Structure 1
């Protein structure tokens, strides 16, 4: 029989439950709930300090999460993940995936799941999903599997991959850091990877063969008409396609690409092909045909100025107004590149207007008319000056081009950081910080764009979770809960204890924050291990695993919400597909933990 918890323990549990309820109700944002939690702890401990402490110590406990090395590590990993995205380092995998999908839909889905799983082992799964979601939506529009049948399995596969290493998710880092604070030895990056791989052998077939059939054909359709741009693509002198017939290359080109005045005979260096297509299709055509959409000297000058000034290259759409000097001119006679240092990649004009006479000059170039939309590339200041000087209306949707010259460098930085941490040369906090610093120094991530890499929501949530974890531990609430749970768990076999803890944390993480569930569950698992005389590590791993089994609700994890709109999912889709996956993972992970630790 156990006694009643102390006043501070009761208060700590009430604050924790209130935070869980606030997250579930969703009336306030995660940031507001997290900051209110920190404020309540700070004020409460100031007026009612813990036994043997000063009021000022409560402030240090409440706000200590903002300086915790786990939060710093998470932020550093976010920066490195951002570097991989903005440099296009992940694009080769995405392009390979698209080619596989074209050959076989089911094979494409399997390869997609394996790629998402593998990348998420070393990269936070959020940038992986951000890069791959547009690919799957585009594939759905081209007649492949509906996005609703691919995004949910893809998200689950990335979460499985993130579960496999200590750096796969921010939650893993949090659990490991709390366990170290409690006296456990620090785990290496791949410490529990074999256990997760074993469970994934059961889960991945479910994601591949079963989950898509449980989801409806609610593909997302784009009702807005995508603009098609006419341009002259120049075959580069060094292109390997020189001498080949266009008919042999057509199967490798996007379906959106159309050829006007299709050439006969082999392709020749500097040959100009009149093509049209969407912006993304034109980019693919440039890559396949090894060509350029504007004179090479203009493109080279833009790239040189970008490197010299440290500015990103943007692509923007501009509408020609009635006052523009460009009307009735062609691109070669407009002098745009000489005057403004920008490159016009293509011209959009409705097909019904293109059928009218006198649209083209004697050289075959399209004459610019009022209402045309120009696709323009350049630096931000040059684009603004061009728009103002030539009476153009800049449309919304400026796109920054990936800094592809830094792609290999960013991948090497990430690889070295992960490798040095995995073999124990440096702690993950040091290797991640060093990697983030190198991303800044080498220009892979811009200092003025670091806000896009860091998530304020994650920062305050982790800080609040650390504060909750500390108050649960230092108030005695963790010890009391551990003693209460151990009374019921003492009649279970060790594998049952592991499964019960994992299931308990899984329920919490699907209806609240996985970071908060981690900080609450880790000290409880540690206390249960002490009460029952079991090794602490498998029970702590049960908490770590349970915190990542966030498949059953859209609020459980940020990528769950990320795919919700693109796949037109509702709450029932998550429950219907996520609950069986939770059962599979809890069962298999519990058995594998018991076997691995001789329990």
Structure 2
């Protein structure tokens, strides 16, 4: 018989269950629940400190999550991801994957899952996800599968790949190291890869075909038709349209873009045609055709001003009110570009009542009350334009990518990933070797360089970070420490060992794996590895079983962190981008955990002849 858990252990387990229930129920925001959990721990440990501690030690434990290296790492990774997005560094990769998704959405997703799996076998899965997240967010904007239906499967696939080798995650290295210290032989890098590959083949159909259908389309534009803007496409001397016929280029145009006028012969420099499309489609068409949808001199002036003032170029939508001086004018007679230094890229015309005034004069669009203009410029110029000409600026503006820094941002990210995955060459007494660089150091250094080089600006950093994720990470770290320090994790391990002696070997493996999975999803994988590995080794000795399969059950359980967002840092990274709720992780993660536990337990027992 084991002793009853201490008061603090009971309180830690009860608090964990209550917090989990509140997260899943979703009646109260994640931020409020997280802050309440931290407050309860702080107040409780101050008035009822744990043995051999002072009241102030409890305060330090409660708020330790906000200064934890894991939180700093996640924030730094978010900043670097933001740098890749605002510079457009990942657009070539996004366009390549977009072609695959256009052929077949399911084929594109499958190839992406396999790519994430393979990369994560040799590279830490955190930088792999950091690279893939912005690409798939961009793909969602371009009309591929919604980010909320791709990021969760991608994360699951990368976690499976990270499970397949001893170097796939830092937790794998920790488990193997603890086992070696306890007397077990050291495992090779690919020693258990066949087992994981076989289990992954079983799990992949669920991740590929079922998981996306269990997730909602959380895109902000869901249920809202995108506005179509009318404008003129100009053919400059550098355009690829010159000397080509319409039929030669129509097949390469975006679906949400059309020519309202078409030439009778080949395109010539200096021509201008009425076109229309969504904002994204207009941008894509201009890039493909190397054309212009605003006078070149205006765009050049805006770009020169942005460079001179070190400011970002924004594209916003503005509604024309009845008091605007623009009503009844055309763009050429309005003098907008000369007055304010902004470029009108297009005009969206809402449906008009019968008998309204004509839409255009001599091919020029006449501006009317209620029209929505797509305007590009610097923030001060846009504000002046809206104020002086009685316009209402709508929400949802976007920054024009700073493509001049795209290569630099990609290089910074590449170096950070290389440092975290491979290390840095170092010469010592034993000659040249690779010095391991923790992901926290590599990501923090990368974020700092992003700031110093202007890839991400200090006044824009708030857009890269998610307050919900920050508070949730801090709370999860605090709860994990409480479970470990209060003795709750140790008591659960002892209770587990008492009930395993009558089980079959496969059942022993499954029970250990489920126990470690429980710790991983509610505390942390480091806690699970630290507590679970010695327990597994002791159970193997008590039941006269080989230690390798039981230690591998711990290693696999540490990686089955799909069921909560607090289980692993990549779960946190996708939470904001996919607009996921706590319940989304539970709904999709629990079935995957059960599939993997069943498959891995059977395969381990068979592989080791148990």
Q: Is the CA contact (8 Å cut-off) linking 2:77 and 2:130 kept in structure 1?
A: no
- Select the residue among 432, 446, 453 that pairs with 1:435: 446
Q: Is the CA contact (8 Å cut-off) linking 1:164 and 1:192 kept in structure 2?
A: no
- Which residue number corresponds to residue 559 of structure 2? 545
- Which residue number corresponds to residue 157 of structure 1? 154
- Which residue number corresponds to residue 528 of structure 1? 535
Q: Is the CA contact (8 Å cut-off) linking 2:148 and 2:216 kept in structure 1?
A: no
Matches within 5 A, 1:210-221: none
CA deviations over 1:247-291 (Å, ceiling 9, x no partner): 111011123222223112222234322211121221121122111
- Select the residue among 502, 516, 524 that pairs with 2:523: 516
Cα deviation for residue 313 of structure 1 reads 1.6
- Which residue number corresponds to residue 429 of structure 2? none
- Which residue number corresponds to residue 295 of structure 1? 295
Taking the aligned partners of 1:60 and 1:316, their CA distance within structure 2 comes to 46
Instruction: Pick closer, same or farther for the CA change 1:304–1:328 going to 2, 3 Å.
Output: same
- Which residue number corresponds to residue 342 of structure 1? 342
- Which residue number corresponds to residue 463 of structure 1? 474
Q: Is the CA contact (8 Å cut-off) linking 2:88 and 2:403 kept in structure 1?
A: yes
Stretch moving more, 379-388 or 192-201: 192-201
Taking the aligned partners of 1:472 and 1:415, their CA distance within structure 2 comes to 37
User: Is the partner of 1:371 in helix, strand or coil?
Assistant: coil
- Which residue number corresponds to residue 72 of structure 2? 72
- Which residue number corresponds to residue 22 of structure 2? 22
- Which residue number corresponds to residue 406 of structure 2? 407
Instruction: Pick closer, same or farther for the CA change 1:213–1:266 going to 2, 3 Å.
Output: same
Number of aligned positions between the proteins: 572
Q: Is the CA contact (8 Å cut-off) linking 1:440 and 1:446 kept in structure 2?
A: yes
- Which residue number corresponds to residue 483 of structure 2? 472
Stretch moving more, 257-266 or 31-40: 31-40
Task: Provide the alpha-carbon RMSD of the alignment.
Answer: 4.4
Taking the aligned partners of 1:109 and 1:561, their CA distance within structure 2 comes to 20
TM-score normalised by length of structure 2:
0.79
- Which residue number corresponds to residue 374 of structure 1? 373
CA deviations over 1:501-531 (Å, ceiling 9, x no partner): 333455677xxxx363646644431341353
Taking the aligned partners of 1:288 and 1:415, their CA distance within structure 2 comes to 27
- Point out where structure 2 has 5 or more consecutive residues left out of the alignment: 425-436, 542-546
CA deviations over 1:143-185 (Å, ceiling 9, x no partner): xxxx69x96466323322245349xxxx977x67997998999
Instruction: Pick closer, same or farther for the CA change 1:7–1:165 going to 2, 3 Å.
Output: same
User: Is the partner of 1:5 in helix, strand or coil?
Assistant: coil
User: Is the partner of 1:368 in helix, strand or coil?
Assistant: coil
Q: Is the CA contact (8 Å cut-off) linking 2:257 and 2:276 kept in structure 1?
A: yes
TM-score normalised by length of structure 1:
0.80
User: Is the partner of 1:386 in helix, strand or coil?
Assistant: helix
Q: Is the CA contact (8 Å cut-off) linking 2:234 and 2:293 kept in structure 1?
A: yes
Taking the aligned partners of 2:461 and 2:399, their CA distance within structure 1 comes to 15
Q: Is the CA contact (8 Å cut-off) linking 1:165 and 1:191 kept in structure 2?
A: no
- Which residue number corresponds to residue 235 of structure 2? 235
Taking the aligned partners of 1:573 and 1:39, their CA distance within structure 2 comes to 25
Stretch moving more, 256-265 or 10-19: 10-19
Instruction: Pick closer, same or farther for the CA change 1:61–1:106 going to 2, 3 Å.
Output: closer
Cα deviation for residue 351 of structure 1 reads 6.5
Instruction: Pick closer, same or farther for the CA change 1:68–1:550 going to 2, 3 Å.
Output: closer
- Which residue number corresponds to residue 433 of structure 2? none
User: Is the partner of 1:547 in helix, strand or coil?
Assistant: coil
Cα deviation for residue 485 of structure 1 reads 0.9
CA deviations over 1:195-232 (Å, ceiling 9, x no partner): 75654344334444566789999999965443321111
Does residue 453 of structure 2 align to residue 453 of structure 1? no
Instruction: Pick closer, same or farther for the CA change 1:154–1:270 going to 2, 3 Å.
Output: same
- Select the residue among 509, 512, 517 that pairs with 1:501: 512
Taking the aligned partners of 1:16 and 1:440, their CA distance within structure 2 comes to 38
Taking the aligned partners of 2:300 and 2:471, their CA distance within structure 1 comes to 43
Taking the aligned partners of 1:287 and 1:447, their CA distance within structure 2 comes to 29
Taking the aligned partners of 1:33 and 1:181, their CA distance within structure 2 comes to 36
User: Is the partner of 2:274 in helix, strand or coil?
Assistant: strand
Q: Is the CA contact (8 Å cut-off) linking 1:165 and 1:193 kept in structure 2?
A: no
Cα deviation for residue 109 of structure 1 reads 4.1
Cα deviation for residue 570 of structure 1 reads 13
User: Is the partner of 2:561 in helix, strand or coil?
Assistant: helix
Cα deviation for residue 62 of structure 1 reads 2.4
Instruction: Pick closer, same or farther for the CA change 1:329–1:30 going to 2, 3 Å.
Output: closer
